[in-house]
Amino acid sequence: QSALTQPASVSGSPGQSITISCTGTTSDIGYYDYVSWYQQRPGTAPKLIIYEVTNRPSGISNRFSGSKSGNTASLTISGLQVDDEGDYYCKSYTRSTTYVFGTGTVVTVL
Amino acid sequence: EVQLEESGGDLIQPGGSLRLSCAASGFTFSNYWMHWVRQAPGKGLVWVARIKGDGSIIRYAESVKGRFAISRDNAKSSLFLQMNSLRDEDTAIYYCARASVDGSGTFYDFWGQGTLVTVSS
């Protein structure tokens, strides 16, 4: 199972919106609405920010939103803040009943 | 308060074996699927294995199948990962993660802080 494809880095100025894509196949993202997104700051464990494509856990800002079209899922961060800097990973359930993570995206606030 | 605490990471020679543990507290451990996820230094997250709450269903990533074994002891609220025939590329921080019981259960609502496994001669 190959990793889902994400851009290596995305940057934006404070207040702007950015979108991170996550491309898979018809056997994972394209088949299930079971995409989740995680934020990881340096030296810490990942943190769930989006689950089942569009849902936010309690306590997660509504500046984070998720969507999906075909084999590609996307995470949008609106009103970008310095605190949003970090690494972001998508994850999908697969038809093999396993899971696959994305390659990861470094978000930088300019 | 939900807590997951991994232990057992060490420096081990290629071909060696190691057993990781994850001590859980603050929730009914047997109700949850548990997973292992690893992250090589400076690299991305990689899913390793998962086990159902009662231990009846287990799945592995192809890269570890036949070498690693996930297990659990619900009486002790503990998750394990037995790693055999270790390779240089198994070097990573190993996280245990709890899969949520909400919705599809396909996402992690809690993670441990990880334990470092270094495979090197």
Please count the residues of chain B: 121
Alpha carbons B10 and B5: distance in angstroms, whole number? 15
Query: Which one of A3, A47, A93 has the shortest CB-CB distance to B106?
Result: A93
Alpha carbons A86 and A9: distance in angstroms, whole number? 10
> In this model, does residue B102 exceed pLDDT 90?
no
Task: Return the pLDDT at A28.
Answer: 96
Q: Tell me the per-residue pLDDT of A51-104, one tens digit each, with 9 for 90 and over.
A: 999 999 999 999 999 999 999 999 999 999 999 999 999 999 999 999 999 999
The DSSP code sequence of chain A is: -PPBB--SEEEE-TT--EEEEEE--TTTTTT-S-EEEEEE-TTS--EEEEBTTTB--TTS-TTEEEEEETTEEEEEE-S--GGG-EEEEEEEE-TTS-EEEB--EEEEE-
The distance of B107 to chain A (nearest Cα, Å) reads 6
Give percent above pLDDT 90 in chain B: 95
Alpha carbons A49 and A37: distance in angstroms, whole number? 6
Which of chain A's residues have a Cβ under 8 Å away from the Cβ of B100?
A: 51
Q: What is the residue type of B48?
A: V
> In this model, does residue B112 exceed pLDDT 90?
yes
Which of chain A's residues have a Cβ under 8 Å away from the Cβ of B112?
A: 45
Q: Tell me the per-residue pLDDT of A46-55, one tens digit each, with 9 for 90 and over.
A: 999 999 999 9
Contacts of A94 (CB under 8 A, 6+ apart): A1, A27, A28, A31, A32, A100
Q: State whether A52 and B60 contact (CB < 8 Å).
A: no
Q: Tell me the per-residue pLDDT of B38-49, one tens digit each, with 9 for 90 and over.
A: 999 999 999 999
Print burial letters for B1-28: b (CB count within 10 Å at least 16), e (below 16). Answer: eeebebebbeebeeeeebebbbbbeebe
Alpha carbons A1 and B90: distance in angstroms, whole number? 17
Q: What is the residue type of A30?
A: G
Q: State whether A99 and B45 contact (CB < 8 Å).
A: no
Quickly count: other Cβ atoms within 10 Å of residue A27's Cβ: 15
Residue B39: strand pairing partners: B45, B93
> In this model, does residue B103 exceed pLDDT 90?
no
Alpha carbons A34 and B87: distance in angstroms, whole number? 31
- Taking residues B10-21, report their average pLDDT: 97
Testing the interface with B: which of A58, A99, A101, A106 to mutate, by most B Cβ within 10 A?
Answer: A99
Testing the interface with B: which of A38, A98, A101 to mutate, by most B Cβ within 10 A?
Answer: A98
For residue B8 the two structure tokens come to: 């057992």
The DSSP secondary-structure symbol of B74 reads G
Which of chain A's residues have a Cβ under 8 Å away from the Cβ of B115?
A: none
Testing the interface with A: which of B108, B113, B115, B116 to mutate, by most A Cβ within 10 A?
Answer: B108
Which of chain A's residues have a Cβ under 8 Å away from the Cβ of B61?
A: 1, 98
